[in-house]
Copies of this chain bind each other. A is one copy, B any other.
Amino acid sequence: MTKAVDAILANYAYETPGVIANLRRLLEHGTLAGTGKLVILPVDQGFEHGPARSFAPNPEGYDPAYHPSLAMEAGCNAYAAPLGFIEAVASEYAGRLPLILKVNNSDSLGGPEQPHSALTSSVQDALRLGCSAIGFTIYPGSEHRNEMNEELRELILEARDVGLPTVVWSYPRGGELSKDGETALDVVAYAAHIACQLGAHIVKVKPPTAHIEQEAAKKSYKDVKADTLADRIAHVVKACFNGKRIVIFSGGVAKGTEEVLEELRQIAKGGGFGTIMGRNSFQRSRKDGAAILKEAMKIFGEAK
């Protein structure tokens, strides 16, 4: 137990020791153990975008055993996936590698304009499979956001009751949000804040752009420093209860290595708690995938 982890967990003093224990497992595993930083490998793209779009670039990824093995080799803090992928590996990995069961998922076969993920697994599954947390996606802005918020409210209560923390993927989308608005600084900060207010233990958002989407918010952003990504990350961290909730950032669509690493440097510089890197790792060869994950850990390990 390091001071960094101590300081973070102190912000969750309202929680039961069971929930704290699992947060601790995430923070005390892998290369970044004890630093208070996290690099998580998520593989829900098979469900979200279809198998070929996900795994054709590196066909090893069709095999569910590939991903936790990659996560272990690279030294990730945790591995997150939908039910089927977790079931396929739990016997071998639960207890060795923190597992996060993604309990709702959305497919892209005729996606609705107003997105709403389906509940695809349960808290009971997470216990049965030895997971350390559940994961849940909300789409702030969607016309279905009330239903999603209420599902999340029930799940957090249920998960806490059995000692599991909840990781919330908060993706603004739908309603009257423009495409650019989905990653606008005001909107990302807002989406992160909502997740924290709903009781998320860890929030995952996309790195924000400098765009401000909401007319009513423009005035408030006049004095918010937002020139560099690091500045914007710092603002999102502030929106997460002044840094008292763990917020991590995804990389989004696959891109060049240097581009990814520069983004991570900015996230680290801005005080982000880490990254959840999927396509940028498992769609490369095993060697390259492990390498970029390790680079990410190096960046966050050196932060602060």
Q: How many A residues face the partner with a CB closer than 8 A?
A: 104
Is A287 part of the contact surface with B, judged by Cβ < 8 Å? no
Q: Whole-angstrom distance between the alpha carbons of A149 and B153 in the complex?
A: 20
Is the beta-carbon distance between B153 and A239 smaller than 8 angstroms?
Answer: no
Point out the residue from B17, B50, B199, B221 that lies within 8 Å of A94, measured CB to CB: B17
Q: Cβ of A175 and Cβ of B241 under 8 Å apart? A: no
Q: Is A294 interfacial (CB 8 A cutoff)?
A: no
- The CA-CA distance from A160 to B190 in the complex, in Å, is 33
Chain A 285-300: CB-based contact to B (< 8 A → 1; otherwise 0)? 0000000000000000
Q: Which A positions have Cβ atoms within 8 angstroms of B?
A: 1, 11, 13-14, 16-25, 28, 46-47, 49-53, 56-57, 59, 62-64, 82-85, 87-88, 90-92, 94-96, 105, 107-110, 112, 116-122, 124-125, 127-131, 140-141, 143, 145-147, 149-150, 153, 157, 161-163, 172, 174-177, 186-187, 189-191, 193-194, 196-200, 214, 216-217, 220-221, 223-224, 235, 238-239, 241-242, 244-245
12 further interface pairs, Cβ-Cβ under 8 Å (given A22-B95, A118-B145): A14-B87, A17-B87, A21-B90, A28-B96, A46-B197, A47-B194, A52-B189, A84-B196, A84-B241, A109-B214, A125-B157, A127-B163
